[in-house]
Structure 1
């Protein structure tokens, strides 16, 4: 047996988990406090200088079932999704989602942050506090002088290598068809000016075509000598003595280090333990540590240290629907790459090989309901068209009475919030080997504020045991009503695109033979289709919510876990209410804010 890392007996700060927020916070603190010894324990593999993490086009390969950079969380079968089990991947590597995500530069609304303060009492978490931290983290290479964007941060934002023709068509035609939703060059200003507009969405990619991930920006080139980031180290639990977190138990993860010894080890923390394993894993670490609902802990054979019934509850995500269409053969799409066509491979390898290295073009397979997807390990980094839509008052009757739950609770008094955002993808998300050789494109709609909630809990004290997970997708009729409207919007726009050559009917609602619904869709067929095909958007959050204890909270506004000293949670699990965008921006914000909070408690600043 080989010991992969030499881990000392004691550090000042220990991070249990090495995802986006953890790496950012640890990197900031290591720079500000070089004498501080900081340990980051990540169960997944390192990402340092690996092509599959540097080259933007390789993002899709991380969803392969053999992937070592993803954890696939299988939910219980649910009638709300037509009896299916929702599978929710979560990052399992250094840098977390920043190292494997789709890199979409999609930011939340200012009111999303404001709600954390006004509705949940988290002083210091309003938009006026957090937007400067977002700016601090980024360089908006498209126009660094634009309001609310950053000009000298370590993470770069651009349009990537190219803007696809389909993206341009979607924005142009969408703005013409939806006459009250014009085209704009700014869809991420975090205000009402970005709502009900069509725009080209930037990416977390530098102008020279490299992924902007957190570990390469904050960790790997950090000169701090006392910052240690170790991969393949699985945290079992936090050690709590007399109400104080004093360290963690861990073992080397043989999914990363096959020949490592499997004994349980202990490392102590002089000042602070930070649980930062993400929305899917942080609540499980807390529960294995004795922090959670009494019935959950006792059922799993764990002694109760502090009763926190909110741990693992409040699970939220963004539900996603994807509808396939047929594009003109002359339009450039990703389909040839995903079919593994040699000519397309040669071009893609030529584009990225000189700058960031090249692989051998091997294929991978993975399953993402409702289709099996066959993809290659290189895809170009194209920008995405988008529209952040919310119904105008005159459009509300189109959504029906079920939708009012979302409208009244979330949107009516927050004009900077979209109901959903939609786009057209230049590819077919399906098993291309089993389909006609057509030039596919897809319309995607992502619901920003689902009313549905789920939960995730331990099923055992064993850290390798599958969790007891209920995604909760579409358990609220309001979500179905919203996605029904989104599907209709996407279909109406896509069939008007110059490149549109037809609907790929197997991937759409199945209407009765002879029905006029091919023109005028009926709600029952669309609703069934949504329940049969809706999937995760990989945006898990909320399972260790930052809100009052009596309202199901797990941490306070300083990220301290209730009932335990010297223990914080720093990741997307602390979000008390959802944000309308891809969660990378929010994870960055949480990491920057946590660094500020911890630095102040250490008597300094970052």
Structure 2
């Protein structure tokens, strides 16, 4: 359905969009028939691919349903297959960081959760020097993206704590959301266990106060049981518009620009397609939406970044912008896996390894029922005060504040981070913040445990507000070389202290009813792992990314190592804009799908308002 090379190469467009995490923007700009928009996507279309769409008509194919997660990871047909550099503070461990490489980007391979951040997480962006980037505006645009479909059975939904507050949802947006029709039976006793531990029910998971235990909507259409992602939500409804041109398998090399005494102005984009090098010309703007792992790479290849980095690879510096690729933040997790008692008769996704059960469930899937329609639903966000005593939290904050003050006096980059750290510490001191997450997965996240008809539950222990900061930079001047991704995991030992305690908390859930009566034993980390030192080693070995990377082209004042201004224009340029999670200056305590769509919707209106005037 996408365009041919002849429709793009050498042609002129008002706006050229690089990569498709921002199909949102392309579709919104194309609403004006006088505006021409081109989208360059490095990956394939993958349209009507059952591995992505999970069509109920494709039940006979392997791994096509929502109930099968992470099948795309490490598969180059869908994933960039990125890896970190050896992590200095993790014994030189290298971690995989999956990201979607296709039309629709990572929205085509995510785990469906539709969760909005705390209001104060978004308000913090405004406090960091970005007027208008606050919760009220964010909520307006998140609702513009969302097309929530309320549960058909209100009493059924209420009994499962599926909150339907009509004021927090959008109903007319292109991204269809709904509570999953099938929820694994293990999630209900697990949720009650969390409540019995003192974690309250959330007061508003989509209304700016998600702290507590929640059931969350998914981006799965309840009618078709298909995945809803950027391609189905924003591209397909607009694919026949003559002013919207999408070219896939087009790897961007660099933005080509001219420079006057004050600003750089993009004139075209160089890209590779079908083995040849081509250019597409831009009349108004280049809008970069390649995500937090790829947008910095394209900026640096285009001569925008830290001069010392660019010169080391022979790239002419057009804008010396040291913040490009810095301030990278990520949500990470470790895990506990419990084997369930056979007499509990609770089946998880592990049971699909049994051919008889699998065949029966595939039959159910034809009518939109059964385990292959399972969606993520339970989630719990809570503050450090849940797992540490008040005195311990106070001591940790005092120690961290002292460390930050000391670093700011000796390290210029740390000085630029001071305002971020100050807000993070204030959030911790508030005692009502989503520093931690517990996410139950209905099955073993480690395949080797799936055997002999046993059922498991994986409890993911997530760290949401890390003090460690990483970076992403080019390895060479070759666009085909993946960037160097260095999250600097546990550079700040505050993060490890939190994750160790959180993992202990997750292990202890097996001693609390009703989970206590369901769990047979812990299989990971296992009884041999007891001391803090042993738990640290396990965390470093098992550490995972939640695929929520942010901050690598931060929306901050330039003197604070910012990359874009509040209009998302790259400093020192007239018409290059970044609009993806890389602009997030301080991470949010939530999964990021809704945030990514809201940023795209806001960016589209910024473009329409003609805010590209350049800022030094």
Tell me, yes or no, whether TM beats 0.5: yes
Partner of 1:447: 463
Work out which of the residue numbers 312, 323, 339 in structure 1 matches 2:336. Answer: 323
Work out which of the residue numbers 190, 194, 200 in structure 2 matches 1:170. Answer: 190
Work out which of the residue numbers 209, 231, 236 in structure 1 matches 2:253. Answer: 236
CA distance in 1, matches of 2:216, 2:175: 16
1:379-390, aligned counterparts within 5 Å? Answer: 379-390=372-383
Partner of 2:390: 396
The answer as to 2:342 corresponding to 1:349 is: no
Work out which of the residue numbers 265, 268, 278 in structure 1 matches 2:281. Answer: 268
The answer as to 2:180 corresponding to 1:154 is: no
1:41-190, aligned counterparts within 5 Å? Answer: 41-55=40-54, 57=66, 60-119=69-128, 121-142=129-150, 145-178=165-198, 181-184=199-202, 186-190=204-208
Q: Deviations over 1:275-298 (max 9, x none)?
A: 111111110000000011111111
Q: Deviations over 1:71-91 (max 9, x none)?
A: 122212124223311221122
Partner of 1:250: 271
Q: Shift of the alpha carbon at 1:392?
A: 3.4
CA contact 2:67–2:375 (8 Å) conserved in 1: no
Partner of 2:290: 277
Q: Shift of the alpha carbon at 1:506?
A: 4.7
The answer as to 2:552 corresponding to 1:543 is: yes
Larger displacement relative to structure 2 (80-89 or 60-69): 60-69
CA distance in 2, matches of 1:584, 1:43: 21
Partner of 1:301: 314
Unaligned runs of 5+ in 1: 253-259, 357-377, 512-516
Larger displacement relative to structure 2 (592-601 or 86-95): 86-95
Larger displacement relative to structure 2 (575-584 or 593-602): 593-602
CA distance in 1, matches of 2:328, 2:527: 29
CA distance in 1, matches of 2:5, 2:544: 38
Partner of 1:225: 242
The normalised TM-score by structure 2 is 0.84
Residue 442 of structure 1 aligns to a residue in which SS? strand
The answer as to 2:444 corresponding to 1:428 is: yes
Q: Shift of the alpha carbon at 1:432?
A: 2.9
Residue 550 of structure 1 aligns to a residue in which SS? helix
CA contact 1:139–1:156 (8 Å) conserved in 2: yes
The normalised TM-score by structure 1 is 0.86
Q: Shift of the alpha carbon at 1:343?
A: 2.1
Distance 1:433 1:114, change over 3 A: closer
Q: Shift of the alpha carbon at 1:586?
A: 0.9
Distance 1:126 1:229, change over 3 A: same
Distance 1:58 1:283, change over 3 A: farther
Unaligned runs of 5+ in 2: 55-64, 151-162, 401-420
Residue 493 of structure 1 aligns to a residue in which SS? helix
CA distance in 1, matches of 2:200, 2:569: 44
Residue 11 of structure 1 aligns to a residue in which SS? strand
CA distance in 2, matches of 1:567, 1:235: 15
CA distance in 1, matches of 2:365, 2:272: 37
CA distance in 2, matches of 1:312, 1:410: 26
Distance 1:412 1:231, change over 3 A: same
Residue 577 of structure 1 aligns to a residue in which SS? coil
